[in-house]
Structure 1
Amino acid sequence: MIGERIRELRTARSMTATELARAADVSVGMISQVERGITDPSLETVRRIAKVLDTPVFSLFRESGAEPVAVVRKDRRMTVRSPHSEIVYERVSAGAGRVEVLEGVLEPGAASSDPGWTHPSDECVVVLTGRLVVEVNDDRFVLKAGDSATFDSRNPHRYLNETAKPVRFLLAVTPPSY
């Protein structure tokens, strides 16, 4: 499904696979394999492609036919993993609206990105279990279960788990972005 969506967005922008690959700093073979459903891209690759296509990451997973009330069953959530599964995001929101809600799990000793990531949105993160370090610019904020932080995502930011147990959190992003 993601490959079809990438091809659809790429062709709508009159962009060749080579142009997309060059702009996203990935191989043409990778774009071809993703578009044909042969391989699943890493979270970092999806982010790069989404940025080039100027679309939110999870819009690449969007299902057509928006309903007036969208119910997302826990066992039917879209999932995106980092290359080594240090972080996993599940889309809690339906994905066609003005806010994106994700449930994240960050493994012990892992970071959501390296270095900090930027995108044109606002974020609110709420820790469900464990302890999460939120880095925004050069500032660090330690959040425990029930704590939250809201910030402008245009500032370089990332999430870290400096503990020996996984941390679970909810993340709301508006507007959805890459």
Structure 2
Amino acid sequence: MRRTGTTRRSALTATGAFGLGAVLTGCGSGGGAPRHDSTGADARTVSLRASTALKAAEARSGVSLLARYDQVVAAHPLTEAGLAPMRAAVREHVAALGGRAGTGVPSSPAPAAPAADVRTALRELAAEERRLADVRAAALLKAEPELARLLASIAAAGAAHAYLLTELAKETPA
């Protein structure tokens, strides 16, 4: 069995993901002079609506991901200890995005049932984390600076989760 503490590789991966998030969010808010015309107010309203819609969509994606974690734990109870910290982080991400996890109301179609093989189920969960991290990283270009920083942080955490889930799949007995 491998060591379960923080390894140099995982620390470097997390640092790299955090650094990437910092670089991506550094592309700031545009330091131009403020506008005082009616089109500026309209643009801010449109921007606020778009930002709110993006935040809500990302919260729904987070709720769906959390449901996926819950399904894997239900299908493979031995994974609960390994997945608990990541599930907690995903729950906090949903809350930070303004969503409510565990409301019992599905916000999107239920994810497909996890694979019967525990390793495959963990790999599928890692792939979903990776896909969602990529979607959130792409959404940075459309987001307001504050939301972009939040999405970058959540995307970096998702990339780290994908790595950890892949490693957990390798270490889990068949």
Q: TM-score, normalised by structure 2?
A: 0.22
Higher relative contact order (CA 8 A, sep 6+): 2
Bigger radius of gyration among the two: 2
Q: TM-score, normalised by structure 1?
A: 0.22
If each structure's helix is expressed as a fraction of its own residues, which one has the higher value? 2
